[in-house]
Amino acid sequence: MTLSNIFLTPDYQSELRACAHVMADAARDVILPLFRSGLASENKAAAGFDPVTKADRAAEQVMRAVLADLRPADGILGEEFGIRDGTSGLQWVLDPIDGTRGFISGTPTWGVLISVRDARGPLYGIIDQPYIGERFEGGFGCAEMVGPLGMRALKTTTKTELAIATILTTFPEVGTQQDGAGFHAVADGCKLTRYGMDCYSYALLAAGHVDLVLEAGLSAYDIQAPIAVIEAAGGIVTDWRGGPVHDGGRALAAANVALHAQALEILAKY
């Protein structure tokens, strides 16, 4: 049986989903006791500020331990501990805390990103929000979230006019000066602009609360899970030219093809 045929088997897909949830639960258990605890951070950037904490490392280590037990043949790409090669044709992409700046500031919208991909791209993903108790998942025929209000289906909005859209990004400066100019050109055509949500912005798009997310300077572990969740909910995620963004860079996430096309037309200048 080829790998692509295996993915058509519901039992195999259920195994992968179950493994992802075990990892998400394990990451929650090690992160939450450290949140708002005065935890120290280190700067891992040669220039600028890119913080990492004991919580980031502990969460990735526990997720890797789950994979060593349940999926030892799969590869891993993690933000903190890099690549582990596998033999199955699958790779798990892990961001133990997406939004470490927010985490060390005590804000609650940081999250854990978990996805699994093959050579074609992401197949399934989870955006987990441990502190607020929400979990968003998409792929293998699933597009749903669970939280304090129970289980709900994920579905992106049907707005088709940029002028009534809400757009999010994490940092007002976005990336390079040119990246920032591109973002603000799109945002100037939208009704509402919000900042600072990290991965939660993608979850809100998948849930139908916002319409666009535009970011730059991303790595694969920042965007793989959001791609899976948003596409399962009916949205589209590409780079700023309309091509694949599986490995990071500039990302445009839109609720539907119409909004995506309008944003791309503006971004073509940047």
The CATH number assigned to the domain holding 222 equals 3.40.190.80
Question: What pLDDT digit, counting tens, does each position of 45-68 carry?
Answer: 777 788 999 999 999 999 999 999
pLDDT of residue 4 exceeding 80? no
Residues 170 and 115 in one domain: no
pLDDT of residue 44: 85
pLDDT of residue 1 exceeding 50? no
Number of domains in the chain: 2
Give the mean pLDDT of 108-124: 96
Give the mean pLDDT of 87-94: 96
Question: What pLDDT digit, counting tens, does each position of 138-182 carry?
Answer: 999 999 999 999 999 999 999 999 999 999 999 888 889 999 999
pLDDT of residue 133 exceeding 80? yes
Please give the residue range of the domain that contains residue 250. Answer: 162-267
How many CB atoms are located within 10 Å of the residue 213 CB?
28
Residue bearing tokens 């860079």? 249
How many CB atoms are located within 10 Å of the residue 35 CB?
17
Give the mean pLDDT of 186-200: 96
Last residue of a domain, one of 130, 153, 176: 153
Residues 8 and 107 in one domain: yes
Q: What is the pTM of this model?
A: 0.95
Residues 141 and 203 in one domain: no
Between the CA of residue 160 and those of 38, 153, 157, 227, 244, what are the distances in Å? 44, 21, 9, 20, 22
Do residues 67 and 74 lie in contact, with contact meaning Cβ atoms separated by under 8 Å? yes
Residues 148 and 235 in one domain: no
**Mean pLDDT for the chain?**
95
pLDDT of residue 242: 98
Last residue of a domain, one of 125, 153, 181: 153
